[in-house]
Amino acid sequence: MEKWSSKFGFILAAIGSAVGIGNIWRFSSVVGQNGGGAYLIPYLIAVFLFALPLMILELVVGRHLQGNVVSSFGKIKTQFRIFGWAICAIVFVVLSYYLVITGWTLGYLVSSLSNSGTTFSDFTSSYQPLVYFVIGTLLTGFIISFGVKKGIQRISTILMPFSFLLLIILAIFCMTLSGFGEGIDFLFTPDFSVLSNPMIWSAAFGQAFFSLSVGFGVLLTYGGYLEKNTNIVHSSLIITVADISVAFLAGLIIFPIVFTFNLAPGMGAELAFSTLPLAFSLLAYGQVLAVAFFLLLFFAALTSSIGMLEVSVAAVMEKTSFSRRKTSFLLTLLLLLVGLPAALSYTSMNLSFFGVRILDLLDETLGTIGLPITALLTTLVFTWFLQKKVFTEELLDSKWWTKLVLYMTKYVIPIVLLITTVSQLVLNIDFAGWSLVRNVQLLRGAVSGMLGLVLLGGALGILLFIERNLHRYK
């Protein structure tokens, strides 16, 4: 099995996986919808007491079992391999429409370079989203085909420092805008009265789990490539702080622009692809700012896509004994096929299901219901069936951290995940932190939940067949 060549390379790759487009436009959107600075209190609590322990759990499991998501579940119990395949399937489908959005960022980057002033309606009324989806998918598969060191680690060590540089430059420029003071007040001045609202806390938990990519199987897979001398707790803290820093820097960029032009602070994808491009066109050096912003979005989306694809590539390689390049090629073709309906739903074809665009349908089902399920499976299986001494051996530097991680991931986090998922299904409560896009909210509650369960059931049936027949190709 390949290994990271250095701790620094692993940390940058993990940060790249965690820092996605959600850290940039989505964090600001959720902050805007949930009281500004007041939201940061439950968000930071959710990050450090819930998402961070789950991150440590995944890295511990990955390094100890030295495997991918499927083999790690299988080493606990052979029957549990299906849970690993289920996680692969859910993350793969989520990746298929995430790459559609990745294509949007690439399309807007090209538009910014040419200064064509393309609007979102113009963009989606053509077949450009399909073209850029194909380019983004092929690029992701191409990078993965080079492996852990020459592919994932190399691209992360190039893109992540450059992304932080872009963030800092954009934030410094936004300090000169007239709305900077108001934006800072909105982002960092808390209104403690709203903390009694459970929706604030639900949004914070959703964003925290989603933002750090916990429960996706990415960190578990990356943990399998870790050397024994890597300090998991310290590395996890660095990744977490970096992830939060990106979100805060994005807020320092977006909110000054929002208040300079009297925009609504709670917009999501509409803010990134409709409103901000218009705002950039009205600013001095607007084209340069637009290029920097969409380059940043594209880098963030690409590094996250790489992490999600590696989950399936590692599992299929282990099951079939195919080479990495062959596996990457086949899964990239499958991604193009699976993601095609979502890509076409935001083109002139406007592909939909009962009036709901396919991308939004997938986002409201697997994106909203599926991802909490993957996190729940991870916590329940590995904390209840893996011996405690594994954690004490892997986290030798801190007995306190061992106790915290075990207590939170074994008891508290599963309860929180169950409550959020059941509330989403039964009580029609919107935990917006999980979903990627949510620019068109047409399905809610039990309807989206039932569709999600149907899709998940079908995927599990297919996976059972694959699990029983892939050995023929070894």
Phi, psi of 352 (to 5 degrees): -145, 170
Which range among 61-70, 121-130, 235-244 shows the weakest confidence by mean pLDDT?
Answer: 121-130
What is the structure's pLDDT at 464? 56
pLDDT for residue 355 is more than 90: no
Q: Measured between alpha carbons, how far is 347 from 233 in angstroms, rounded to an integer?
A: 45
Phi, psi of 437 (to 5 degrees): -105, -70
Residue 447 pLDDT grade (very low, low, confident, very high; cuts 50, 70, 90): very low
pLDDT for residue 474 is more than 70: no
pLDDT for residue 387 is more than 90: no
Q: Which two tokens stand for residue 264?
A: 């609504």
What is the structure's pLDDT at 454? 53
Residue 119 pLDDT grade (very low, low, confident, very high; cuts 50, 70, 90): confident
Q: Measured between alpha carbons, how far is 418 from 421 in angstroms, rounded to an integer?
A: 5
Give residue-wise pLDDT tens across range 416-439. Answer: 888 777 766 665 555 444 445 544
pLDDT for residue 167 is more than 80: yes
Handedness of CA 413, 414, 417, 418 (dihedral sign): negative
Query: Would you say 167 and 249 are in contact if contact means Cβ atoms under 8 Å apart?
Result: yes
What is the structure's pLDDT at 28? 82
CATH number of 7-473: 1.20.1740.10
pTM of the model: 0.90
The domain limits of the chain are: 7-473
The winner for highest mean pLDDT among 203-212, 295-304, 369-378 is 295-304
Give, in order, the Cα–Cα distances in Å from 16 to each of 12, 153, 158, 162, 286: 6, 10, 11, 12, 27
Give residue-wise pLDDT tens across range 217-262. Answer: 999 999 999 998 899 999 999 999 999 999 999 999 999 999 999 8
Residue 453 pLDDT grade (very low, low, confident, very high; cuts 50, 70, 90): low
More confident residue, 399 or 44: 44
